[in-house]
A and B are shown apart, each in its own frame.
Chain A
Amino acid sequence: MLYISPIKALSILLTAFFVCLFAVPNFISKSAIDNWPTWARNQVVLGLDLRGGSHLLLEVDDRDVRGQKLQGLQDDVRRVLRDARIQLVSPPVIRGNSVEVRIRDQDYSRGLTILRELSQPLGGGLNTTGARNLDITEGEGGLVRLTVTEPAILERTRQVVDQSVEIIRRRLDETGLVEPSIQRQGNNRILLQVPGVDDPKMILDIVGKPASLSFRMVDSTMSTEQLLAGPRPPESEIVYGTAATGNIPYILEKRVLVTGAELTDAQPGFDQRTGEPVVNFKFNASGARKFAQATIDGAGRLFAIKLDKEVISAPVIREPIIGGSGQISGSFTLESANKLAILLRAGALPANLTPIEQRVVGAGLGLDSIHKGMTASYYGAALVVVFMVVTYGLFGVFASIAVGVNVGMIFGVLSLLNATLTLPGIIGVVLTIGIAVDSNVLIYERIREEVRTGRSVISAIDAGFTRALATILDSNITTFLAAAVLFFIGTGAVRGFAVTLGIGIITTVFTAFTLTRLFVAWWVRWARPQQLAIS
């Protein structure tokens, strides 16, 4: 037991050495590391609570998702019934979570069959739950009610979150912010962490706007007053202009000519005649064709450029625009033109995102925590080393070295995994140090005990290690399991804690089983003690 072959000893030392080596990049300046090969460059990422920055939790607007889903369903119902020339008592309307339509008696069964085809299993062919996107129920008087199911809403919400994460990433990349972290959280939330930015409003300006752009014709068949007073035509709606242009109401056709999705580029620029800031854009081929056709058909009429819920400008079509490029003007400043160009390039968010939590950690506070934490750790480590050496003499030195290597290995593994180190994570490391010290104490106490029962030095050491290791293994396996559970269930802070604790347990078992034993074995071989000095 106490004999460790040279090959084994070498592999133990090399393992410890190389794992510790991975922690080195953390202590070297960024510029020096840039020349290193990529595999050697891994570093621990500091959490937002340690480096400062903004933390935003965004929630997908549930009403928005439902609204869109219902709107889409209403359009579908209208389209399929019209295509099949079904006679209706009343057109499809949205009521609550459903779309309701009344079909004339003679077409009822045919209409119902067609509507039933709209109900599809969720998740394509891979679906196993058997959930469908629509529940269809029949009422009296030819009433058919199509209800959007909750699983369908959930699926759509998840899609919206995934798309939004992509778009937010593109938008932030455009602004050149450093290392933002964007993650889905739960089913309907996005966690956004931007280090180094201490004004969350600035980030919200960039990620909070859906930026859905559409080009539509202005309905000139009736005046605004008529529309506000009288019955509303189903094909038009009122949209107001921006506050800068005086909130003028416009009557827009609901039919969309071209959407922002068909833009290939958008850049801020200046109008050649007036010199005011504008956004220049280019359509892709199909967008250009649609826009050309629309401007040929509607020459002399007004068309509107609608961004989110506002009309930003409504110019007259003087001549057909066939080149596929144009400009948006609308009392921009250079900055707002630039921002809009970024949003248009990155694409529109599929739904509204509401910030439900904003936190800022001042960079100063983070640095403060690190500095104070470091100072505290140094004093703590010094106290522990002194105490161990006083209690166990030379063996205390072995224990201190083993625990030191253990800490080095924890940071090595954390760097290798590019793990994020947060305050709770540091607490996890401190706890691990406690457990690592305990492992050594367990071993030494056991050896002392064995000596007291009258065993020889070598046999006492041997028995001490064997017996203590069983205990160490038991308590560490259980602790590791607890850490694993916390990792899979917890989020954020708890997860950071679980990661460092889990890694720490593994390195603790490694150092207690191998490194401490190696030191003791070498010492026994070198000193050939007749009596044990650890009491």
Chain B
Amino acid sequence: MQFRRVSFSASAFFLIVAICQFLFVELNFGRDFIGGTFIEVRVTSGVADLARMRTELGGLGLGDVQLQQFGTEDAVLIRVPKQPGGDAAQQFAIDNVRVALGNEVEFRLGVMEIIPRVSTEFLAQSTIGLMIAILAILIVSWLRFEWQFGLGAMIANVHNLVLTIGFMSLLQIDFDLSSNAALLTILVYSLNDTLVIYGRIRESLCRYKRMTIPDLLNNSLNSTLSRSITTHVTVTLALLALLLFSGHAIRSFVSTMIFDVVLVGTYTSVFIAAPILIYFGVGSTRASTKETTDKRFFHSQD
């Protein structure tokens, strides 16, 4: 448990970096939040010449038209900002784009019009949902374990979410409504991981009445280690397959997920969630023990 000094400092450092990153660089908000009309096209010649398309569309006077390649080389997403005027003005702008690009492209994937207000409301609603879910986790783990475990699980979860959002901001991964689902998955996954370790700690607390808390935590982590490794390797294998073979639609989700499973989730469960229990005085109610300064790792099975 000596590592906790290092890991807590490291976590504090990364949390600050993540928060700064989030505050100053902002997330790369995807189409759901910036709004406008989106047209997805496929270039018939095979490879999209973005520079030329940009000049062609720039001359239409539609404001800041953005082009972005996605997925394959021939697929381009065009964003036309909201035009002043009603529906007719939007339609007129789309028609203009159609005419300007002519036969070069195929309007294969349709047009959509998004007003960010709705997405923002939705995000606010989901955030509230997320908070209530975290609170529910706190309560349940309090009931099933002890309050220290509930608090520890909650802190571990928030720690994970903040780091993940920082990561998304760092790599400028599109933040869309579906990113919500990604964050939820991460929340659930790391929660599952943390609770497995907590389960073992709870068990050890009953079993090894005389072991010091740091040793006991160490022991519990060691005995769940091979399970942690096996599970993470399995999930990572599945995620790698998703990353390599699935479409553009969930790629940003999968990369976030891999970051979380491989790095953050595992790290949090072992290096944050478990040692933090020391500070909450877990096991203080059992037969009185005094904290020892013993630094050796303990593997006894009593």
Interface residues of A (CB under 8 A from B): 49, 57, 198, 200-201, 204, 355-362, 364-365, 368-369, 372-373, 375-377, 379-381, 383-384, 387-388, 391, 423-424, 427-428, 430-431, 433-435, 437-438, 441-442, 445-446, 448-449, 453, 467, 470-471, 474-479, 481-483, 485-486, 489-494, 497, 501
In the complex, which residues of chain A have a beta carbon less than 8 angstroms from the beta carbon of B87?
204, 355
Q: Within the complex, which residue of B109, B136, B199, B226 is in contact with A364, where a contact is CB–CB below 8 Å?
A: B109
Known contacts A442-B227, A494-B180, then 19 further A-B pairs from the complex at CB < 8 Å, ordered by chain A residue: A57-B118, A357-B114, A357-B118, A373-B247, A377-B241, A380-B238, A380-B240, A387-B237, A423-B250, A424-B178, A435-B189, A438-B196, A441-B230, A448-B226, A471-B199, A478-B137, A481-B140, A485-B136, A492-B122
Q: Is the CB of B227 within 8 A of A441?
A: yes
Asked if residues B126 and A490 are in contact (CB atoms below 8 Å), the reply is: yes
Assess whether A433 is in contact with B196, with CB atoms less than 8 Å apart: no
- Residue pair A423, B249 in contact (C-beta under 8 Å): yes
Whether B105 is near chain A, meaning CB under 8 Å from some CB there, is: no
User: Which of A357, A377, A391, A492 contacts B230 (CB under 8 A)?
Assistant: A391
Verify A437–B144 contact, CB threshold 8 A. Answer: no
User: Do residues B136 and A481 form an inter-chain contact, with CB atoms below 8 A?
Assistant: yes
B6 touches A (CB below 8 Å): no
Given contact pairs A384-B237, A479-B191, A431 touches B199 in the complex (Cβ within 8 A): no
Contact status of A497 and B181, CB under 8 A, knowing A383-B238, A384-B234? yes
- Residues in A with CB closer than 8 Å to B239 are 380
19 contacting pairs across A/B (C-beta < 8 A): A359-B113, A360-B110, A364-B108, A373-B250, A380-B238, A383-B241, A384-B238, A424-B180, A434-B234, A441-B234, A442-B227, A445-B230, A453-B301, A474-B144, A478-B137, A478-B144, A479-B192, A481-B136, A489-B128
Residues of A within 8 A of B301 (CB): 453
**Set of chain B residues within 8 Å of A381, measured between Cβ atoms:** 238
Judged by a CB distance under 8 angstroms, whether B73 is at the interface is no
Question: Chain B interface residue count: which class?
Answer: 35 or more
Which residues of B are in contact with A by a Cβ distance under 8 Å? 40, 87, 91, 108-115, 117-118, 122, 125-126, 128-129, 132-133, 136-137, 140-141, 144-145, 177-178, 180-182, 184-185, 187-189, 191-192, 195-196, 198-200, 203, 223-224, 226-227, 230-231, 233-235, 237-242, 244-247, 249-250, 253, 301
Complex contact A485–B129 (CB within 8 A) = yes
Contact residues in A for B241 (Cβ distance below 8 Å): 376-377, 379-380, 383
Q: Determine if B140 and A478 form an interchain contact, defined as CB atoms under 8 angstroms apart.
A: yes
**Which residues on the A side are within 8 Å of B113 (C-beta)?**
200, 355, 357-359
B51 to chain A, nearest CB (A): 26
Cβ contacts under 8 Å, A475 to chain B: 191-192, 195-196, 199
Contacts of B180 in A (CB 8 A): 424, 493-494
B126 close to A380 (CB less than 8 A): no
Which residue of chain B is the closest to A55 with respect to CB atoms?
B112
Interface centre among A57, A204, A383, A470 (most CB of B within 10 A): A383
CA–CA, A200 and B40, complex, Å: 15
> Is there an interface contact between B231 and A372, defined as CB atoms closer than 8 Å?
no
* Interchain CA distance A482-B157 in the complex, whole Å: 12
**8 Å CB contact of B242 from A49, A362, A430:** A430
Q: Are A387 and B233 in contact (CB under 8 A)?
A: yes
Measured between beta carbons, the chain A residues less than 8 angstroms from B118 are 57, 356-357
Once the chains bind, are B141 and A478 in contact (CB under 8 Å)? yes
Question: Across the interface, which residues of A come within 8 angstroms of B235, CB to CB?
Answer: 434, 437-438
Which chain A positions have C-beta within 8 A of B91?
201
The 6 closest A-B pairs by CB, nearest first: A360-B110, A380-B241, A471-B199, A489-B129, A424-B181, A362-B109
B114 near A380: Cβ-Cβ < 8 Å: no
User: Is B187's CB under 8 angstroms from A474's CB?
Assistant: no
Partner of A474, one of B117, B195, B238: B195
Residues of B within 8 A of A479 (CB): 188, 191-192
Q: What distance in Å separates the Cβ of B178 from its nearest Cβ neighbour in chain A? A: 6
* A423 partner residues in chain B, CB cutoff 8 A: 178, 181, 249-250
Contact among B111, B184, B242 for A486, CB-based, below 8 A: B184
Given A482-B136, A489-B125, A445:B227 Cβ within 8 A: yes
A contact residues around B223 at 8 Å (CB): 449
* CA–CA, A491 and B237, complex, Å: 31
Q: How far is the CA of A17 from the CA of B141 in the complex (A)?
A: 34
Question: Contacts A376-B246, A424-B181 hold; do A471 and B112 have CB atoms under 8 A apart?
Answer: no
Q: How far is the CB of A322 from chain B (nearest CB, A)?
A: 43
Residues of B within 8 A of A489 (CB): 125, 128-129, 132-133
Q: Is the CB of A430 within 8 A of B177?
A: no
Q: Which residues of B contact A474 (CB under 8 A)?
A: 144-145, 195, 198-199
Question: Which of A376, A388, A481, A497 makes the CB contact (< 8 A) with B245?
Answer: A376
**Are B115 and A497 touching (Cβ within 8 A)?**
no
